[in-house]
Every structure is written in C-alpha cells, then in structure tokens.
Amino acid sequence: MTNSKTPNPKIIEFIFDFGSPNAYLAWKVLPAIAARTGATVVLLPCLLGGIFKLTGNQAPMVAFGGIKGKMAYEMLETRRFIEVHGLTAFRFNPHFPVNTLLLMRGMVAAQRAGAGEPYLDAMLRGMWEEGLKLDDPAVFTAALDAAGLDGAALLAATGDPEVKAQLMANTEAAVARGVFGIPTFFVGDEMFFGKERLGQVEALLGS
C-alpha cells in the first residue's frame, strides 16, 4: 500500500486563476522547477471567487487592508520575488480587479482543445504584462488571435455548458482538498499555498 504522505515525484498540480498576480509570478518560476526535478505540471484552472465563497476567504486587500504594515510588507515581498527571479515584464493591471470568469472558462475550453499552455501564456501575458482588460470579450478575442489561437472559437466555447460545469467541478474539488486561495500546488497529497512555497515544492520533489 502506498503511504498517503508519499508524493508522486513526477507531478506538480498547479491550481490557479488569472486574477491572481501571484499565479503569474508562480508560473514564471514553476516550469524551471519542473525541469530541474523531472516533474510534469498539471494545470488546474479554478475560479478564485468561487474558492473565496466556498471557504469564507477574502482577497488580501480586503482581509488585511486594515492591518498596519501588512500590505506594505506584501508589496515588499513581491518586489523581492520579482528581483530574485528577474521577472521585469510584470506590471500591475490598471483594470484590476478583472472579472476572470470568461478567462477561466476559456482556459477549460482551451485545455479541451489541446491548447492549454499557449492559452495560459497568452492570458497571463495580457493580464500581468500588457495590462489588458481581458473581461471585455473583444479584448479577450484579440489577445488570443495575437497569440496565434482562435479567439472567436474559444469565446464561443466559454458558453458551453460542459465547460462551465468543468470549471465549477474543478473549483469544488480544489476546496474539498483544502484549497482556500491561489496559487496552490499539490505534490501527491502535500499542499503548498503561495509562490513563497515553491522552494518547498522543489525540495520535496528532490528528496
């Protein structure tokens, strides 16, 4: 019998939503960790708003905005992460918060079409490098077309009941596993929350 605490050294499950700047930052680092450890990243799109609703969690600016020094430290930590990893293309989106329901349904549709990673890269770039208002369907479609994807087809697919149901199922399943925020990573049964835990992810995979 396999010990439930024994990780599968080949899989990193990445639970994300495009609305999280930390998900962008984590993804910029995660592929290199996977390459160094021989792991495969499995992308699990989940709706952050749904996670918050199901767990009673709140966005950091809401939850910690009244705590003296807390958000200033969060911004300092983010600047440190960006500097350490050379992520100089990152820009805070001027339209934040962007409603990501369309984007997340589009991610599910893209995965079903075999275009998950190109879609992920295009949407993260549009959100956290180019500052696009991606909850506007016209902007969404244009960004995908510019990335070589079929924006119109993916926009249409976001209305597919199966796509909608899959996103909801992903979100509910993540919460059932203990997820309360994004980005979250699983290696086997071990859960890690936040980009700051990526070193722990790599250490576990290498142990």
The CATH number linked to 104 is 3.40.30.10
Q: Which residue has the tokens 């203990």?
A: 178
- Cα separation values, 143 from 81, 84, 123, 139, 152, Å: 27, 29, 8, 6, 11
Asked if pLDDT for residue 7 goes beyond 90, the answer is no
Domain interval for residue 143: 11-206
pLDDT band per the 50, 70, 90 thresholds, residue 64: low
β-partners of residue 14 are: 43, 185
Which tens digit of pLDDT belongs to each residue from 132-174?
999 999 999 999 999 999 999 999 999 999 999 999 999 999 9
Nearby residues of 131 by Cβ (< 8 Å), 6 or more positions away: 91, 93, 94, 95
Using CA atoms, how far residue 133 sits from 51, 66, 123, 137, 205, in Å, is 22, 28, 11, 9, 37
- Decide if pLDDT at 106 tops 70: yes
Assigned token pair, 99: 């409603």
Tokens of 181: 């925020």
Q: Which residues pair with 184 in a beta bridge?
A: 15, 193
Establish if 86 belongs to a structural domain. Answer: yes
Whole-number Cα distances in Å, 41 to 32, 35, 64, 155? 10, 10, 31, 25
Close Cβ partners of 32 (under 8 Å, ≥ 6 residues apart)? none
Q: Rounded mean pLDDT of 178-182?
A: 96
What is the model's pLDDT at position 9?
55
pLDDT at 125 over 90: yes
For the purposes of burial, counting CB atoms within 10 Å of the CB of 63, is it exposed (0-12), middle (13-18) or buried (19 or more)? middle
Q: Is the pLDDT of residue 120 over 70?
A: yes
Q: Is the model more confident about 128 or about 5? A: 128
Is 1 domain-assigned?
no
Q: In which residue are the tokens 């244009």 written?
A: 142
What is the C-alpha to C-alpha distance for residues 42 and 161, in angstroms, rounded to an integer?
23
User: What average pLDDT does this structure show over 20-29?
Assistant: 96
Strands (E), 64-204: 184-187, 190-193
Beta bridge partners of 11: 40
Is 180 inside a domain boundary? Answer: yes
Tokens 């549709």 belong to 109
Residue 5 lies in a domain: no
Total number of domains constituting the chain: 1
pTM over 0.85: yes
Residue 62: what pLDDT? 67
pLDDT value at 59 more than 80: no
* Beta bridge partners of residue 114, listed in sequence order: none
The residue count of the chain comes to 207
What band does 65 get if pLDDT is binned at 50, 70 and 90?
low
Find the range with the poorest average confidence among 62-66, 119-123, 193-197, 203-207: 62-66
pLDDT of residue 10: 84
- Report the pLDDT value the prediction gives residue 4, as an integer from 0 to 100: 43
Q: Indicate whether 94 belongs to any domain.
A: yes
What are the respective helix, strand and coil percentages of the chain, to the nearest 5? 55, 10, 35
Question: Do the domain assignments include residue 2?
Answer: no
Least confident interval from 61-75, 80-94, 156-170: 61-75
Sheet holding 184-187, edge to edge: 40-45, 11-16, 184-187, 190-193
Q: What's the pLDDT score for residue 49?
A: 92
pLDDT over 90 percentage in the chain = 82
Examine residue 3 and state whether it is found in any structural domain, yes or no: no
